[in-house]
Amino acid sequence: MTEGLREKLQWRNWLRTASSSNGASVLTRRHIYILPTRFGIGFGTILLAMLIGSINYSLSLGFAMTFLLAGAGNIAMLHTWRNLFQLRLRPLSVKTVYAGQDALFEIGIADTRHRKRFSICASFRDAEKVVHDIPESSEVAFELASPSVARGWLIPGRITIHTEFPLNLFHVWSYASMDLKCLVYPHPSDLNLPIPPSPSEGELGYEAKSVGDEDFNGHRTYQMGDSPKKVDWKASSKEQGLLVKVFEGTSKSTLWIDWFQVPFHDSEQRLSQMTRWIIDAHCARTPYGMKLPGLEIPPDDSDSHFHQCMRTLALWGKNDQ
């Protein structure tokens, strides 16, 4: 039996999922499920033993205590179920990541019944759970992580929402499905290879300032792949995040990140190395262009150009590009 077929046959996949409508999913009574927890099963066992003992010995006080606790359990079951009822979920934001990093989806979960919700837990399947209380008639942002493995579009699947408030006797859960996806850039190569000169570089005549080690030109935020030697630890100690020193050097020709200049045969290794070179060139604010088989992106050094190149690499050879 294949892994995909085994996953489809799991009983959880047969349960109703709250679908997205107008960008939001609402948990109605059709989408909420409830089962006793192990503490709830133990609580019910104790109540049964108390009832049998009270019947055998005709203990009026035993009957009173048994029914009192049973009533408290029923009330706890109702409040646990109501803790999820009519919650509204909607997507807020998502940021692009590199392959191997956790994609963070910001989901807004709001109360629509004018009552405070306690210990609401949300997560993607097999991912870390996030727990928050939700104030009355308010919305709270849940930052849910989903691990990424390969470049391209990451679709995390449905969200699981559950709670066991107030007495942990019952586990109430529901599933919500939304149109969520995150673009995963290729993982940058760990190899510190220099960018080979393009055969046409000298003919193009683009000139720009480059990053060197001559004149100090300010700070910028630390980005993955920066050398620890360039981190300004003194400036970073002011709780403004890691800052990297930027030096202005001599001018040089615009760089070309060329598919055919990468010294690897494997396509994924080539894309990984091109990603590393693009990050380095962008951090240096050196204009660079990118060449792929049948595609050429003109040189630039803007943020939009960086994301255009990274998006192209992320979706290169994919059916959904």
- 48 vs 234: which has the higher pLDDT: 48
pLDDT over threshold 60, residue 3: no
Residue 205 pLDDT: 36
Which residues fall within 8 angstroms of residue 174, CB to CB, at 6 or more apart? 18, 27, 31, 32, 33, 84, 160, 161, 162
Residues 181 and 224 both lie in one domain: no
- d(CA 108, CA 178) in angstroms, rounded, equals 12
Average pLDDT, the chain: 84
pLDDT of residue 212 exceeding 50: no
> pLDDT-based confidence at 191, cuts 50/70/90?
confident
b/e per residue 166-180 (b: at least 16 CB within 10 A): ebbbbbbbbbbebeb
Least confident of 9-13, 87-91, 248-252: 248-252
> Is the per-residue pLDDT at 263 higher than 80?
yes
Whether 226 and 181 map to the same domain: the answer is no
Calculate the CA 252 to chain-centre distance.
39
Residue 300 domain-assigned (yes or no): yes
Q: For residue 17, give the nearest of 156, 142, 160, 113 by alpha carbon.
A: 160
pLDDT at 229: 67
pLDDT of the residue at 23: 84
Query: What is the extent of the structural domain holding 239?
Result: 201-315
82-86, 91-95, 135-139, 218-222: least confident range: 218-222
Domain count, the chain: 2
pTM of the model: 0.75
* 11 inside domain: yes
The pLDDT assigned to 219 comes to: 61
113 and 233 in a common domain:
no
Interstrand relation of 139-147 and 97-98 (parallel, antiparallel or unpaired): unpaired
How far, in whole angstroms, is CA 5 from its chain's centroid? 26
> If we measure between CA atoms, which residue out of 117, 112, 105 comes closest to residue 28?
112
Low-confidence winner among 125-134, 235-244, 251-260 (lowest mean pLDDT)? 235-244
Residue 101 has pLDDT above 90, yes or no: yes
Domain end among 185, 216, 244? 185
Distance CA 112, CA 187 (A): 41
Asked whether residue 310 carries a pLDDT value surpassing 80, the answer given is: yes
Q: How far apart are CA 46 and CA 68, in angstroms?
A: 13
Find the mean pLDDT for residues 172-191.
Answer: 93
- Indicate the SS3 state at residue 31: helix
Average the pLDDT over 164-186 and give the result: 94
Q: Please, which pLDDT band fits residue 126 given cuts at 50, 70 and 90?
A: confident
Q: Is the pLDDT of residue 74 over 50?
A: yes
Between residues 126 and 135, the one the model is more confident about: 135
Identify the domain boundary among 185, 213, 232: 185
Q: For strands 255-258 and 288-292, give the pairing.
A: parallel
158 plus 53 within the same structural domain: yes
Banded pLDDT at 223 (limits 50, 70, 90): low
Among 152, 185, 218, the domain boundary falls at: 185
Are 82 and 222 within one domain?
no
